[in-house]
Homo-oligomer: A and B are copies of this chain.
Amino acid sequence: MESSQTLLKLTEELQKLPGIGKKTAERLVYFLLKAGKKEAQSLALRLNELAEKVILCKICGGITEANPCAICSSSARDKSMICVVEQPLDIAIFERTNRFQGLYHVLMGTLSPLEGVGPESLRIDELVERVKDGKVKEVILATNPTMDGEATSLYISKQIKEFGVRTTRIARGVPVGSDLEFVDEITLMKSLEGRQDI
């Protein structure tokens, strides 16, 4: 292949990524051209590693060695609850608490229209499919307490409403061990709204 064809093909390939248009793709190609062989090659190496080594569970989307993953195929887990998280690594964070006995569902990010991430880019359809069969009683939305995370949770709750499943959002409030002085107002407001009897 001709050199200019190589540039063109790489530009096209980069444009498939969300939020990367023609202009940005060209900029990345120039950067890589100028940065030299090593830069492009080490990025290629990592991409191949991703393709070869990382297996995602076909049910929950978590990182796994077997498929379905140990959690999805365990008979000890409560199959009536699904905890929805943004990324595969969030599962490990919840597992560390040893408190949640249900299943997970990884979205692979949050909605972000400006960055070109719409509902079809996330694993929302797959969640709807899981909820449809009627065995799921509760969906816990555990996306990050950010603007994007909240918007994504809201969107999902609307999508699964019709199936009559209980939909909850993890509590937002003051973090345990912190000082009220350093807590922002919105968090404080949420901690008042979510106050509980003791």
Contacts and interface: CB of A to CB of B under 8 A. Distances in A.
Contact of A48 (B44, B63, B109): B44
Contacts of A122: 34
Nearest to A4: B89
Interface stretch (A12-20, A128-136, A188-196): A12-20
Interface string A5-42: 01101100110111100001011111111110111111
Contacts of A10: 46-47, 49-50
A108 interface: yes
A53 B121 contact: no
Given A9-B46, A13-B46, A46-B13, A34 B123 contact: yes
A75 interface: no
Contact of A29 (B14, B30, B37, B50): B50
Contact of A54 (B27, B33, B41, B108): B33
A45 to B, nearest CB: 8
- How many monomers of this chain does the complex have? 2
B27 A117 contact: yes
Given A18-B31, A26-B87, A108-B30, A43 B47 contact: yes
A54 B115 contact: no
Q: How large is the interface on A (under 10, 10 to 19, 20 to 34, 35 or more residues)?
A: 35 or more
Closest 9 A/B residue pairs (Cβ): A44-B47, A44-B44, A30-B108, A10-B46, A37-B51, A30-B109, A40-B51, A3-B63, A40-B47
A108 B41 contact: no
B44 A6 contact: no
Contacts of A112: 27
Contacts of A55: 3
A3 B64 CA distance: 8
A34 B120 CA distance: 11
